[in-house]
């Protein structure tokens, strides 16, 4: 059922409140910074969720870009430093997709702070991933992790394309663009179905098989983001058409009502919807720049409807802004949720705040 639609000011307020809820429910003392789950059970902080922290960094940069308030940027720097410190002072880990998420966030941090050190870190991460993760197994692309160099998936390859496009835009270095184009071609040939739906991975067991049963929202978002970023570099409008096709396929395959759903219970899946909406938001803006206003409105309408469902479902209780992985329903009193799910709620709400602020300005509201 369609929910009442909020305007820009309401989304700004929602974004501020849900950002602060991350600290309310998950904030804890250093060096942990955020509890992995709420409520926290025995041993549940034993796992160091490198890539969750990368998205927490991204989320705080969203808040800074929305408000211009230095406090949010200070928190972003603190999260960055916390991740590196907990990773034994290193940028690198065993998972190529983890490192690419962190590189994308550190590159945004460089732009927000004006400090080139963070951009240098993003370049170091790109080089590390390219040198160790790129190979001809399964026809090309970037591996998922160092222990499975034969296994290629969308999380590593989509994020590599986005990072390469952004690094090329910042530095002008040709190799970033060349490698991004090469990996995007591989991704399209290996994992994008004819209808635009993006599969998760290939050759996980060394048998060349595609994991067709693993259907996740963030894979769609990553391919959308890769197409948008490369379209901006190359001027190739067909990439925007491909991104639009994938966005529609995601809803056809994964939506229940207005909400996209991911299956799983380990905590990682909590982030998937937010990633999808982050990159779908970039597609809205790209379509508007090209004058494809009808397409932009359709994509924005689906993002807004999903996030309205979140605020009328999981976040309906103003006194308990705690989101689970199913946005349609509140977390029960005895519920147990990861902070990854709260980050998704934050990301989607920030996208709506940015998009509605822009459309309100264009319409004179």
Segment 291-304, tens digit of pLDDT: 999 999 999 999 99
> Over the stretch 221-235, which tens digit does the pLDDT of each residue have?
999 999 999 999 999
Q: What are the structure tokens assigned to 45, written together?
A: 């902080």
Q: From CA 131, how far away is CA 129, in angstroms rounded?
A: 6
Residue 104: predicted pLDDT: 99
Using 50, 70 and 90 to split pLDDT, how confident is the model at 7?
confident
19 lies in which domain range? 8-363
Q: Would you say residue 280 lies in a domain?
A: yes
Instruction: Tell me the residue ranges of DSSP E strands in 90-156.
Output: 143-145, 148-153
The length of the chain in residues reads: 365
The answer to whether residue 301 sits within a structural domain is yes
Which sign, positive or negative, has the C-alpha torsion 190, 193, 194, 197?
Answer: negative
Residue 149 belongs to a domain: yes
Dump pLDDT digits (tens) for 204-217: 999 999 999 999 99
User: What total number of domains does the chain contain?
Assistant: 1
Range 14-23 average pLDDT: 98
Domain-located, residue 3: no
pLDDT of residue 342: 98
pLDDT of 267 above 90:
no
Candidates 326, 347, 325, 329; CA nearest to 266 is: 325
What's the rounded Cα separation, in Å, for the pair 242 and 71? 39
Residue 90 falls within a domain, yes or no? yes
364: pLDDT confidence band, cut at 50, 70 and 90? low
Q: Across the strands, what pairs with 202?
A: 152, 210
Are 56 and 34 in contact by the 8 Å Cβ rule? The answer is yes
Say yes or no to pLDDT of 164 above 60: yes
Asked whether the predicted pLDDT for residue 360 surpasses 90, the reply is no
pLDDT band at 263 (very low <50, low <70, confident <90, very high): confident
202 contacts 187 by C-beta, under 8 angstroms: no
Predicted pLDDT at 310:
98
DSSP 156-175: HHHHHHHHHHHHHHHH--HH
Q: Residue 222 is part of a domain; what is its CATH number?
A: 1.50.10.20
pLDDT of residue 146: 99
Beta bridge partners of 255: 260
What integer pLDDT is reported at residue 301 of this predicted model? 98
How many C-beta atoms lie closer than 10 Å to residue 40's C-beta?
14
Judge whether 1 lies within some domain: no
140 belongs to a structural domain: yes
What confidence score (pLDDT) does residue 359 get?
Answer: 63
pLDDT in tens, 74-130: 999 999 999 999 999 999 999 999 999 999 999 999 999 999 999 999 999 999 999
150 domain residue, yes or no: yes
For residue 164, give the nearest of 137, 129, 216, 202 by alpha carbon. Answer: 129
């Amino acid at each position: 059922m369609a929910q009442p639609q909020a305007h820009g000011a309401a989304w700004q307020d929602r974004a501020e409140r849900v950002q602060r809820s991350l600290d309310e429910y998950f904030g804890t003392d250093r060096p942990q910074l955020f509890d992995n789950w709420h409520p926290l059970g025995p041993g549940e902080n034993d796992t160091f969720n490198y890539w969750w922290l990368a998205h927490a960094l991204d989320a705080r940069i969203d808040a800074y870009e929305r408000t211009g308030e230095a406090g949010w940027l200070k928190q972003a720097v603190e999260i960055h430093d916390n991740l590196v410190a907990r990773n034994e002072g290193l940028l690198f880990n065993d998972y190529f997709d983890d490192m690419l998420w962190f590189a994308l966030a550190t590159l945004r941090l460089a732009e927000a702070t004006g400090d080139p050190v963070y951009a240098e870190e993003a370049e170091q991460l790109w080089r590390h991933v390219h040198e160790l993760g790129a190979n001809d197994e399964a026809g090309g692309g970037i591996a998922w992790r160092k222990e499975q160099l034969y296994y290629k998936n969308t999380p590593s390859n989509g994020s590599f394309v986005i990072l390469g496009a952004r690094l090329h835009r910042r530095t002008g270095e040709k190799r970033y663009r060349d490698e991004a184009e090469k990996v995007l071609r591989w991704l399209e040939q290996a994992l994008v179905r004819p209808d635009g739906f993006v599969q998760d991975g290939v050759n996980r067991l060394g048998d060349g098989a595609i994991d067709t049963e693993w259907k996740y929202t963030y894979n769609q978002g990553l391919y959308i983001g890769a197409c948008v970023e490369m379209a901006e570099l190359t001027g190739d409008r067909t990439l925007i058409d491909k991104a639009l096709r994938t966005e529609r396929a995601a809803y056809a395959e994964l939506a229940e009502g207005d909400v996209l759903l991911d299956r799983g219970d380990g905590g990682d899946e909590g982030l998937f919807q937010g990633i999808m909406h982050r990159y779908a938001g970039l597609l809205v803006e790209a379509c508007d720049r090209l004058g494809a206003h009808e397409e932009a409105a359709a994509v924005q309408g689906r993002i807004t409807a999903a996030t309205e469902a979140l605020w009328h479902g999981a976040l309906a209780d103003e006194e308990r802004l705690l989101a689970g992985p199913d946005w349609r329903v509140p977390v029960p009193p005895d519920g147990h949720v990861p902070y990854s799910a709260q980050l998704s709620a934050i990301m989607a709400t920030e996208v709506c705040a940015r998009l509605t602020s822009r459309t309100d300005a264009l319409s004179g509201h």
